[in-house]
Amino acid sequence: MKKIFAPIILSLLVVFCATAQLDRSQRPEPGPAPEIHLGEFDSFTLDNGMKVIVVENRQVPVISFQLTLDIDPVMEGEAKGYTSLAGSLMREGTTNRTKEEIDESIDFIGANLSTFATGMFASSLSRHKETLVDLMADVLLNPIFPEEELQRLITRQKSGLATVQNDANQMANNVGRAVAYGPNHPYGENTSPESLENVNLELIRDYYNSFFKPNAAYMVIVGDIDLQEAKELMDEYFAQWEPGEVPTMEYPTPTPPDGRTVSIANRSGAVQSVVAVTYPVELTPGHEDAIKASVMNSVLGGGAFSGRLMQNLREDKGYTYGARSSLSTDPVVGRFNARTEVRNEVTDSTITEILYEMHRMINEPVEESSLELTKNFMTGSFARSLEQPRTIARFALNIERYGLPEDYYATYLERLNAVTAEEVQEMARKYIFPDNAHIVVAGNRDEVIDNIRQFSATGEVDLYDAFGRPVEEPDLLPVPDGITLETVLDNYLEASGGKEHLAAIQDMTTKAKTSVQGMEINITTYQKAPNMVRLEMAMGGNVMQTQVFDGEKAVFSSPMGKQEFTEGPEFDAMKMAAVMNMEMDYEKYGFEKELLGIATIDGQQAYKVESVSPDGQKFQDYYHVETGLKIKEETPQGVTKYFDYKEITVREAQEPSFFARLFGRKTTEPVVLKFPSHMETQAGPQTLEMEVTEIKIDTGLEAEKFSMN
Q: Which residue, 280, 328, 278, is CA-closest to 175? A: 278
Q: How far apart (Å, rounded) are the C-alpha atoms in residues 532 and 580?
A: 9
Q: How far apart (Å, rounded) are the C-alpha atoms in residues 493 and 630?
A: 10
Residue 541: CB atoms within 10 A of its CB come to 6
Phi-psi region of 74 (alpha: psi -120 to 50; beta: other; left: phi over 0): beta
Give the model's confidence band at 7: pLDDT under 50 very low, under 70 low, under 90 confident, else very high. very low
State the pLDDT at residue 183: 94
Q: How far apart (Å, rounded) are the C-alpha atoms in residues 86 and 511?
A: 42
Mean pLDDT across 664-682:
78
Q: How far apart (Å, rounded) are the C-alpha atoms in residues 673 and 663?
A: 30
State the pLDDT at residue 37: 53
Helices 421-431 and 368-385, axial angle in degrees (round to 10): 80
8 A C-beta contact, residue 622 and residue 631: yes
199-203, 475-479, 496-500, 515-519: least confident range: 515-519
Percent above pLDDT 90 for the chain: 66
List the alpha helices (DSSP H) in 272-346. 290-301, 308-310
Note the pLDDT tens digit of each residue in 322-333. 999 999 999 999
Q: Domains of the chain, with CATH numbers?
A: 42-238 (3.30.830.10), 261-384+404-464 (3.30.830.10), 485-706 (2.50.20.10)
Instruction: Determine the residue type at 462.
Output: D
Give the model's confidence band at 655: pLDDT under 50 very low, under 70 low, under 90 confident, else very high. low
10-24, 72-86, 249-263: least confident range: 10-24
Question: Does the pTM of the predicted model rise above 0.85?
Answer: no
Residue 297 has pLDDT above 90, yes or no: yes
Note the pLDDT tens digit of each residue in 126-173. 999 999 999 999 999 999 999 999 999 999 999 889 888 889 999 999
Comparison of pLDDT for 219 and 384, the residue scoring more: 219
State the pLDDT at residue 680: 87
Give the model's confidence band at 266: pLDDT under 50 very low, under 70 low, under 90 confident, else very high. very high
Residue 23 has pLDDT above 50, yes or no: no
User: What is the SS3 assignment for 532?
Assistant: strand
In degrees rounded to 5, what are phi and psi of residue 144?
-110, -10
Mean pLDDT across 637-664:
71
Residue 577 has pLDDT above 60, yes or no: yes
Give the model's confidence band at 668: pLDDT under 50 very low, under 70 low, under 90 confident, else very high. low
Q: How far apart (Å, rounded) are the C-alpha atoms in residues 556 and 671?
A: 35
Q: How far apart (Å, rounded) are the C-alpha atoms in residues 610 and 489?
A: 12
CA distances (Å), origin 610, targets 140, 517, 622, 642: 55, 34, 9, 17
8 A C-beta contact, residue 361 and residue 12: no
Comparison of pLDDT for 33 and 603, the residue scoring more: 603
DSSP strand pairing (438-443 vs 462-464): unpaired
Residue 478 has pLDDT above 50, yes or no: yes
Mean pLDDT across 691-706:
91
State the pLDDT at residue 657: 55
Give the model's confidence band at 388: pLDDT under 50 very low, under 70 low, under 90 confident, else very high. confident
Q: Considering the chain, what is the average pLDDT of its residues?
A: 88
Q: How far apart (Å, rounded) are the C-alpha atoms in residues 525 and 510?
A: 5
| Total residues belonging to the chain | 709
Residue 105 has pLDDT above 90, yes or no: yes
Comparison of pLDDT for 388 and 482, the residue scoring more: 482
